[in-house]
Amino acid sequence: MLLLVGGAVTIQSTAPAAAAETTLRAAAAKAGLFFGTASSPNRLYPILAQEFGQLTPENDMKPDRIATSSGGLQNTSGADQLVNHAQSNNMVVRGHTLVWHSQAGALQGASQSTLNTFIGNAINRWGSKIAYWDVVNESLEDNNTGRRRNQWPHTMNRDANGDGDYFDAGDTDVIRDSFIRAKQVVQAGGYSTKLCINDYDVEGLTVKGGGPNRKANALYDIVRTYRQYIDCVGFQSHFNDNPNSIITNDLQANIQRFADLGVEVHLSEVDIDDDLSNNDIGTGQAENYRKVVRACLNVAKCTGITVWGISDSESWRSSERGLLFTGGNGNYQKKSAYYAVLDELNKGRGTTPTTPPPTTTPPPTTPPPTTPPPTTPPPTTPPPTTPPPTTGCTATVSLNSWTGGFVATVRVTAGTSPISGWNVQLTLPSGAAVTSVWNANRTGTSGSVQFSNVNYNGAVNAGQYTEFGFQGTGAASGLTPVCTAS
């Protein structure tokens, strides 16, 4: 079940009951995540609390509604009504949003100082009643460039040393500075609120045609760099037939990649346009929803799914018919997609979906024996009780594998002395090929492939580690990495 305890979110997963749950809210809670929707004060119908355990104000917390030019608050009655409704119905609230180039209202063109004032006022008004805040929304460009937006507030960014990013101490970065302020306010207030970054077209590792999703990679770099301030990532999941917005088979792998950073991942604004199912809002759309929900369920730290509205007619993209209900004004009819989502949620985590999910193989501490150990030790010199100290570096591999593909995470560990750089050699089985890589440089795509550090992860202290990853096609069992330090 899903509880609010002192404003904090507590998800309690109980043993499966004999009968399947009959609402999205109950099925999701039993699976250990929330299932929510976006709404407004004029749509607080009974179905909201019956079917959904989480609520996002669709517009009533955006700066153009509640911010003054000095960073104060105004016109908060709609937001207050939504928060109060959620509290009285034991629903989780996601605040949306604090820093955004769009719908900025009186904040448009404001300084970082003014943004910080607004961030503080908004977080303090609702405190722990807000379980998650979207601190920064849609900071990256469209069209898969992998670059920051060039509109305000990102015009305040300065790359002091000209290295192409905004991650250095001398840089000015509105993302970093906004999250620092938000974290300060949460800590000072003793709130349980978690701080999220939210964006769209970041859902897959790849885009249509198999090319890398540079926008997703840029978001990953931001989260990795500012992990100390960022608690959660929202994949908006507005799926449609734009080449950068389709549902790719590596959605789960990308969710896992972010989850491996230690953050919660949410599918935060889901709608799946009917153009992805040839205008079929029956079985075709249902299967698309099933695939997306299953990708989340198969990753333990994917802790919430929010659809962006209740019914097609009330959606911001009503002509695309991308939600779970038809009808409107409190009179709703369930679509096939609703029943597909309910079915997947009732299966819970770690069950076999319609399309088999990746299975996780943890890296072995020691290589598994190829033959059973002998009953008595062979007449050879036994190994020392304490292994000799290791210099240089070692590497281990963990795999998420599915039919036709895999994602590998490689951990590089320094030995008894620090290292300033590393190189890992892997030999892929016949038929396997690397399609994308993160946190490393790569030479080759098949057979013997070399990976080396990038500029930010070459230095590793003695006994410490860093990680990189890559995605590939084919099968990749039995990988034995060889690490060389420099």
Which residues lie below 8 Å from residue 17, measured CB to CB, with a gap of 6+?
30
Residues facing 5 on adjacent strands: 8
Burial degree of 17 (CB within 10 A; 0-12, 13-18, 19+): exposed
CA distance 34 to 47: 16
- Name which of 107, 55, 101 is nearest 78 in CA terms: 55
- Name which of 195, 220, 104, 215 is nearest 153 in CA terms: 104
Please give the angle made by the CA atoms of 194, 195 and 198, to the nearest 5 degrees: 130
Establish whether 269 is a catalytic residue. yes
Give the pair of three-digit tokens for residue 137. 């929304």
* SS3 track for 430-448: CCCEEEEEECCEEECCCCE
CA distance 293 to 336: 14
Whose tokens are 């599918």? That residue is 267
| Candidates 141, 269, 314, 467; catalytic one | 269
- Name which of 70, 223, 61 is nearest 130 in CA terms: 61
| Candidates 51, 58, 138, 467; catalytic one | 138
Give the pair of three-digit tokens for residue 457. 């992860």
The three-class DSSP label of residue 187 is: helix
Establish whether 138 is a catalytic residue. yes
Question: Do residues 424 and 434 touch, judged by C-beta distance below 8 A?
Answer: no
* Residues composing the chain: 486
Whose tokens are 């580690």? That residue is 465
- Name which of 58, 51, 22 is nearest 36 in CA terms: 51
Number of alpha carbons in the 13 Å side-chain half-sphere of residue 427: 4
CA distance 162 to 177: 19
CA distance 152 to 102: 9
Strand order in the sheet with 433-438: 359-361, 393-402, 405-414, 465-473, 433-438
- Chain-centroid distance of CA 27 in Å reads 21
DSSP 480: -
CA distance 227 to 221: 10
Question: Do residues 116 and 196 touch, judged by C-beta distance below 8 A?
Answer: no
- Residues assigned a catalytic role: 138, 269
